Amino acid sequence: MSKHRIKSVALEDDYADDYYEDDEDQSGYVEEDGMTAEDQERLRVATVQARNTLGQGFTSITDKEIQDALWHYYYDISKSVSYLKNKHTPSQSKQDKTRPAKTGSQLAVHHQAVKEPNIHHLLPSTAKDFFWDSPWLNIPFHRQAEIRIEPVFPRLGLLGGSSTGEGKMSKIAALAAKRRLKEKENEKQRGAATHTSGLPEDTASGLSKLRIATSHTLYPHKEHPLRSRHDLQSASRIDQTQETPPKGDALPPSRQQGKDKRTEDNHQLNGSQSGANVADMRAKPSMFARTLMISCDTALPLSSRPPTLLPEPVISSFDFLKPSPDDIVLKAQNFKGSKTSTSSKQQKPAKAKESITNSMENLSVVEPETIKSKNLDVLAEYKKVERKNAANFVVIGHVDSGKSTLMGRLLFDLKAIDERTMQNYKEEAEKMGRGSFAFAWVLDQGTEERARGVTIDIATHKFQTERTSFTILDAPGHRDFVPNMIGGASQADFAVLVIDASPSAFEAGLRGQTKEHALLVRSMGLAKIVVAVNKMDRTDWSKERFQDIKQQMLAFLTTAGFKSENISFVPCSGLQGDNILTRSRAPQAAWYNGPTLVEELDTPEPVNHALEKPLRMTLDDTFHDSVQNPFSVSGRIEAGSLQVGDQIVVMPSGIKAFIRSIRVDDEPSDWAVAGQNVILSLSITEADFDQINIGNMLCNPAFPVENVSSFTAKVLAFDHLMPMPLDVHKGRLHIPGRISRLAAVLNKVDDSVVKKKPQVVHPGSIARIVVELDEPAPIEAGRIILRANGETVAAGHLE
Amino acid sequence: MADKRRINGPASGTAIPIFTPSKSGAHTLQRTRKPNQLRKIYLQPGVVPTASGSAYLELESLCHPSSLLNAVPSSLKLSCVIHGPKPLPRNANFSSNLQLTINVKFAPFATRQRRGYIRDVTERDIGTHVETALCGVIVRDRWPKSAIDIIITILEAEDDVQWGSGTQQQNTVGGLGNMNVVSGCITVASAALMDAKIDCLDLITGGVAAVVPKDDGKFVHHLDPSVIEEPFLNSACVVGYMPARDEVTLVWTRGNIPSYSDGQTCRFDSLLDSAVNAAKGAHVILRQVATELAQAESTKLIIDESKT
Ligand SMILES: Nc1nc2c(ncn2[C@@H]2O[C@H](COP(=O)(O)OP(=O)(O)OP(=O)(O)O)[C@@H](O)[C@H]2O)c(=O)[nH]1
Ligand SMILES: [Mg+2]
């Protein structure tokens, strides 16, 4: 390795090579160096003559410029004069002289006139200078061409001021001239955006665009790329005197006498100056930079050629929302398979081929759906089956009251979780230093939930008792996740309120989410509540503590609107499993001889669901199921029934779809009714996938939910209400909106109007308010919850 | 058995080049620029298409016509790449502001004294300076929970030591090379931010100025001093400056402010002003680059529109 590095360092400087090249340059250029005394005298005389010919109007032209022109035209005074006149119309010249040019183009012209000669005159002092414009492996055209010794045809010069075309060009020269003109034209167009030249002839400005910055010091490598070509061209002087410069070309002469007459740059790169002399402050890229940008034509303005370090990536990344090639193929195979198997079994082989081609033609990403409906009478089917009661309950309570632990324990005791899994959880939880959360892991499946020991989203789990099949909805207790808790509670038939009985925890809970959750479930219409007084082991099964909590909660819950016969209390310990499935064996707990938690849950209470009403189902989740069922939704049917092949409409987007398959409680089924938790696979096009979201409403297309943008509701205020922005929650759905009007404060008993148009509604009072939604949403009669700034401010129902 | 894994040297062997110290003394260049004249700047945004923003900056090389290979002074060459704004990793703490990570690294070959591959103290120090300058200009609360990485590679830097002089350092103030690097880093990062279209309060640029003693005992302020041209200087100052708001986000000064023989002191304020002027000069270029970039974008837009 080290060997390599040392080597490359040595190569960097390339001493030997450079010296060698140096010698070559010297010999090649020696003839051009210096100027004989004779020449100088001749030049002086000619300058005087030229100035006389030019007359008064052109006093602004410097001697140097005249000499430039003369040198170029080999002392032909008339030609030089006409060139200079062409270039400096009197008014123009003045501006040129006194002020640094306004535009980039003018500026560049000026500089060329002043500086080209010395650039040419200076010998490249190093090999590096000689090769300054020839990047590695990318020798520009103008440098390559000049290696030829004998010009084959009369050279075409870009120089000169003759405005009339004299003499004849060869065909090739004419072609070349044409191409050049075209290039210039392009150049002009490219530069057009910045270009506001006042020059009568724009050719010059077009050409000057080739150059962003002019050199102001004597470094030969700062010269124009095109320039060097002309310099070399003019090495054979005879050619040049004979050639005919193309019409309208205003490039200045490229030769001048040999003295270094470099004038100071007019345009100071003064830090505090700005504007006009920007071009002067900008350097041209060094050879390194040009190599880096892979653009040999660096003189182009930046805007016209975005340089790149790396080539543009050719491969465009795959959009994973689209079906993958595999998906398409599989789909096509399925489609073909089903088609041939159902329709063409008896067909002759000859026709079979045709049918395949037909089906290939029909093939598309969106396959036409034809799902056979069995046209069942779902309600009759439903009544036929003898089934257990089904009930969903939501587990609520303050954060860390032990909800997840209690439910995990319950599931474990009921053998809904097998020993092995539980053992795994225990070991892993131990490893993470959270041994006490092992039971909570049954429901807290998310990595983040497990890492933090906090439930974040609703977790569902099923279990069966002898009489009932339950679905647990384990709600998060943390105040930040109340919206998730609302979503869970909206699917529940009753609630289990878990209370942390340990010292001071109960009191903290009562101020926090114990209170908020209880009020929320009540305002969502849940009537039955089971209060599990948890962590009794922490209080050493103190009967006093239990009674104290029971009394306080009873008072609170009855004021919240629960009927006292629907409230029950169970002291228990989720961690140790007392009074959950089996009675506590702890001697301190002997005083309790009421029902255990499971017994309390299992008190039969058949729930009546609105089976006859039109279909309503709020989407709990949407997901990609499998290749066959690319789009599935889950949720609980709130009202009505459905069966495979039914058409449904999803609000608010109004997308229609057919039901491909139904799974009720993870068992395939042909139908489902209100109260059941289902997974539906829908047949919709991929384009519509992202139009269907969590919280949307699935409806019967005959009776869809209206999208409303404003509604009137009767609410119980938990906080001061005034016209203000808030979030409207309805089950899983939550939409931003605002209270637009407070209509009235109502009497709690008979709903009579107490006060019309109140300024503010005080906590605890009932009011009729008008809510406007930021965007229309499918909301119809039912319970709503209003939250603002992360707190529940009101709950009620639509009127 | 031939060892195929390494490239073996030539069988015959070569002579080791031996470098003798130059007898011609230090290679210094006379400053031919006016005191208030900056070196020319070449600035090119958008050099790395795969990054969200990038720019390349280099300063004109101060090549002496008679200079031979061994004493070609280095000029500044910087490239800056910006990645982001991108979301913070999931396990990161919540941040209501855009998180800025600045990584300044000398390429190993950037200076005559070879640099290591791991960031050293100087590089981290320069990084902190640049970060200070940029924190003040980026509107950071526009991107909560996100981060950008600004990676600046110094491809070529001025040596703090004048090469070829037997003595180590004539400069009375060290670190002028690093100051130039800081100033360049600020300007190139600003161009890259512009290319990445990240909201900034202004186009910030860096500028350096130095107090240089003259023969007659007076002092002049040189804008954009380069190490090779300034064998003696009293103090130097680098600023990060926002012209539109007339605000300075970074000041770093070294050396001491001299007093004139006539008792009148050369004030720090004026040095700071000179540095600000240098920054204004760079800003002129940055602004023009911005205009060109905008024009290129708009023409691209027009082309795109006409295509559709
Ligand atoms: N001593 C004792 N600790 C318990 C009991 N039940 C739960 N815990 C502990 O309380 C802590 C919180 O338990 P979780 O089940 O995560 O509480 P949670 O109510 O689900 O919390 P969130 O879901 O975040 O609201 C854990 O450390 C449990 O071990 C119990 O009966 N006795
Ligand atoms: Mg939990």
Do both A204 and A289 map to the same domain?
A: yes
Read off the pLDDT band of B79 (50, 70, 90).
very high
> Which of A644, A673, A699 is the last residue in one of the domains?
A699
Using CB atoms, pick whichever of B47, B67, B68 lies closest to residue A309.
B47
Between A443 and B138, residue with greater pLDDT: B138
> What is the domain range of residue A661?
616-699
Ligand 1: nearest atom to the Cα of A397:
19
Res A356: pLDDT: 54
Q: Is A573 in the pocket of ligand 1 (CB under 6 A)?
A: yes
Q: Give ipTM to 2 decimals.
A: 0.78
In sequence order, the β-bridge partners of residue B43 are B57
Quote the DSSP letter at residue B248. Answer: E
Residues lying with their CB under 5 A of ligand 2, a single-atom ion: A 403-404, 455
pTM over 0.80: no
- Least Cα distance to A188 among A204, A207, A206, A172 occurs for A206
- The dihedral over CA atoms of A748, A749, A750, A751, expressed in degrees to the nearest 10, equals 10
Q: How many CB atoms lie within 10 A of CB B106?
A: 23
- Closest A-chain CA to B298: A303
Query: Which residue's alpha carbon is at the smallest distance from atom 10 of ligand 1?
Result: A402
Interface test with A, best of B8, B18, B63 (most A CBs within 10 A): B63
Give the total number of structural domains in chain A.
5
pLDDT number for residue B282? 93
Q: Are residues A711 and A730 in the same domain?
A: yes
Please write the tens of the pLDDT for every residue from A44-65. Answer: 888 888 877 777 767 777 777 7
Task: Report chain A's mean pLDDT, rounded to a whole number.
Answer: 69
CA distance A500 to A533: 6
Q: Which of A68, A89, A110 is the last residue of a domain?
A: A89
- What's the CA-to-centroid distance between A410 and ligand 2, angstroms? 14
3-class DSSP state for residue A676?
Answer: coil
| Predicted pLDDT of residue A38 | 74
Both A129 and A68 in one domain: the answer is: no
**A460 assigned to some structural domain:** yes
A663 vs A87, more confident: A663
Ligand 1 pocket, residue A426 CB under 6 Å = no
Identify the CATH number of the domain in which residue A717 sits: 2.40.30.10
Question: Which chain A residues are within 8 Å of B42, Cβ to Cβ?
Answer: 282-286, 289
pLDDT of residue B31: 80
Tell me: do A502 and A629 sit in the same domain.
Answer: no
Alpha carbon nearest to ligand 1 atom 12, residue:
A400
| pLDDT of B126 | 93
Higher pLDDT, A213 or A721: A721
A94 in the same domain as A83? no
Nearest ligand to the C-alpha of residue A439?
Answer: 1
Q: What percent of chain A has pLDDT over 70?
A: 62
Q: How far is the CA of A394 from the centre of ligand 2 (A)?
A: 12
Mean pLDDT computed over A576-592: 82
Residue A269 to residue B281, Cβ atoms within 8 A: yes
pLDDT of residue A648: 85
Angle between helices A513-523 and A482-489 (to 10 degrees): 30
How far, in Å, from the CA of A523 to the mean position of ligand 1?
A: 26
Domain ranges of chain B: 41-62+71-87+98-307
What's the CA gap between B247 and B202, in Å, rounded? 10
Q: Note whether A624 and A723 are same-domain residues.
A: no
- The count of other CB atoms within 10 Å of the CB of residue B244 is 11
Q: Is A294's pLDDT higher than 80?
A: no
For residue A314 the two structure tokens come to 């050719």
Å from CA of A440 to ligand 1 middle: 7
Alpha-carbon distance B234 to B211, whole Å? 5
Work out the pLDDT band at A161, boundaries 50, 70, 90.
very low
Q: Is the same domain home to A229 and A141?
A: yes
Q: For residue A383, is it within any domain? A: no
Confidence label for A173 from pLDDT (cuts 50, 70 and 90): low
Half-sphere exposure of A187 (CA within 13 A, CB side): 22
For chain A, how many helices (H) and strands (E)? 26, 22
Three-state DSSP at A291 gives: helix
**DSSP calls for B269-294:** HHHHHHHHHHHHHHHHHHHHHHHHHH
HSE (CB half, 13 Å, CA atoms) of A581?
17
- For residue A159, pLDDT over 60 is answered with no
What phi and psi, each to the nearest 5 degrees, are found at residue A426?
-60, -45
Q: Which of B37, B81, B75, B70 is nearest to B59 (CA)?
A: B75
Cβ neighbours of B279 in A, within 8 Å? 271
Q: Please state which of the ranges A531-540, A599-608, A762-771 shows the lowest mean pLDDT.
A: A599-608
The residues with which A786 forms a beta bridge, in sequence order, are A728, A794
Q: Is cis: bond before A311, omega within 30 of 0?
A: no
Specify the CATH number for B41-62+71-87+98-307; select among 3.30.230.70, 3.10.100.10, 3.40.50.300, 3.40.640.10: 3.30.230.70
Contact B47 A292 (CB under 8 A): yes
Per-residue pLDDT, averaged over A653-682, amounts to 83
Q: Is the pLDDT of residue B105 over 90?
A: yes
The token pair that represents A180 in the structure block: 């050049």
Per-residue pLDDT band for A12 (boundaries 50, 70, 90) equals very low
pLDDT on residue A105: 39
CB of A443 sitting under 6 A from ligand 1: no
Nearest atom, ligand 1, residue A576 CA: 31
Ligand nearest to the CA of A397: 1
What number is the average pLDDT over the span A549-576? 87
Same domain (yes/no): A461, A521: yes
Q: How far apart are CA A599 and CA A593, in angstroms?
A: 12
Residues B122-181: tens digit of each pLDDT: 899 999 999 999 999 998 888 888 999 999 999 998 776 655 444 444 445 568 888 999
What are residue A131's phi and psi, to 5 degrees? -95, 20
More confident residue, B162 or A223: B162
Q: How far is CA A522 from CA A183, A404, A562, A715, A760, in A?
A: 81, 21, 7, 12, 24
> Is residue A368 assigned to a domain?
no
Distance CA A93, CA B278 (A): 32
In this predicted structure, the answer to whether residue B60 has a pLDDT above a threshold of 90 is no
What is the rounded distance in angstroms from the CA atom of residue A794 to the CA atom of residue A786? 5
Q: Would you state the pLDDT for residue B106?
A: 92
pLDDT at A276 over 50: no
Q: Distance between CA A194 and CA A339 in Å, rounded? A: 65
- Determine whether the shortest distance from the Cβ of A253 to ligand 1 is under 6 A: no
A–B: how many Cβ contacts below 8 A?
Answer: 141
Helix, strand, coil fractions of chain B, as percent rounded to 5: 25, 25, 50
Of A12, A18, A271, nearest to B280 by CB-CB distance is: A271
Q: A665: part of which helix (H) or strand (E)?
A: none
Instruction: With beta carbons less than 8 A apart as the criterion, state whether A275 and A103 touch.
Output: no
Provide the pLDDT confidence category of residue A70 given band limits of 50, 70 and 90.
confident
The DSSP letter of residue A57 is G
CA A403 / ligand 1 centre spacing (Å): 6
Smallest CA-to-CA distance from A576 within A545, A542, A536, A546 is with: A536
**DSSP classification of residue A591:** T
Q: What is the CA(A470)–ligand 1 centre distance, in A?
A: 22
- Exposure of B5 in the CB half-sphere (CA atoms within 13 A): 1
The secondary element (H helix, E strand) that includes residue A713 is strand A707-717
- Ligand 1 near A609 CB (within 6 A): no
Tell me, what's the pLDDT at B194? 93
Measured between CB atoms, which of A126, A271, A312 is closest to B38?
A271
Which domain-ending residue is among A601, A627, A643? A601
Please indicate whether residue B228 or residue B283 has the higher confidence score (pLDDT).
B283
- What is the per-residue pLDDT across A475-508, written as a single tens digit (0 to 9) for each? 888 888 888 888 888 888 888 999 988 888 888 8
Q: Say what the pLDDT of residue B125 is.
A: 92
The fraction of chain B above a pLDDT of 90, given in percent, is: 39
Among A498, A541, A575, which residue has the most ligand 1 atoms within 8 Å of its CB, making it the best to mutate? A575
In the three-class reduction of DSSP (H, G, I as helix; E, B as strand; rest coil), residue B197 is classed as coil
In this predicted structure, what is the pLDDT of residue A213? 35
Rounded CA gap, A215 and A217, in Å?
6
Residue A636 confidence (pLDDT) above 50: yes
Interchain contact, A286 vs B42, CB within 8 Å: yes
Q: What's the rounded mean pLDDT across residues A241-258? A: 37
CA–CA distance, A535 with A402 (Å, rounded to integer) = 8
Mean pLDDT of A370-395: 73
* Contact residues, chain B, for A4 at CB < 8 Å: 7
Element (H, E) at B203: none
Residue of A nearest to B66 (CA): A125
**Binding site membership of A169 for ligand 1 (Cβ less than 6 Å):** no
**Tokens 């279209």 -> residue:** B197
Q: Examine the domain organization and report whether A498 and A624 are in the same domain.
A: no
- State whether A301 and B292 contact (CB < 8 Å): yes
Are A194 and B66 a contacting pair at CB < 8 A?
A: no
Q: In this structure, is residue A611 part of a structural domain? A: no
What is the reported pLDDT for A619?
84
Within 8 A by CB and 6+ apart from A118, the residues are A218, A256, A260, A261, A262
Per-residue pLDDT tens over the stretch A123-158: 555 666 777 777 777 777 776 655 555 544 444 444
Residues B191/B200, Cβ–Cβ less than 8 Å: no
- Ligand 1 contact via A132 beta carbon (within 6 Å): no
Statement to judge: residues A680 and A718 lie in one domain: no
Q: Of A256-265, A351-360, A433-442, where does the model show the most confidence?
A: A433-442
Same domain, A153 and A194: yes
Q: Are residues A48 and A20 in the same domain?
A: no
CATH value at residue A525: 3.40.50.300
Interface test with B, best of A23, A303, A456 (most B CBs within 10 A): A303
A273 contacts in chain B (CB < 8 Å) = 281, 284
Computed over every residue of chain B, the mean pLDDT equals 83
Does ligand 1 lie within 6 Å of residue A537's CB atom?
A: yes
- Per the CB < 8 A criterion, the answer to whether B275 and B207 are in contact is yes
Mean pLDDT of A274-287: 70
Asked if A283 lies within 8 A of B280 by C-beta distance, the reply is no
Highest mean pLDDT pick, A202-206, A310-314, A325-329: A325-329
Average pLDDT over residues A553-582: 86
- What b-and-e string marks burial along A552-571, b requiring 16 or more CB atoms within 10 Å of the CB? ebeeebeebebeeeebbbbb
What is the model's pLDDT at position A234? 36
A405 lines ligand 1 (CB under 6 A): yes
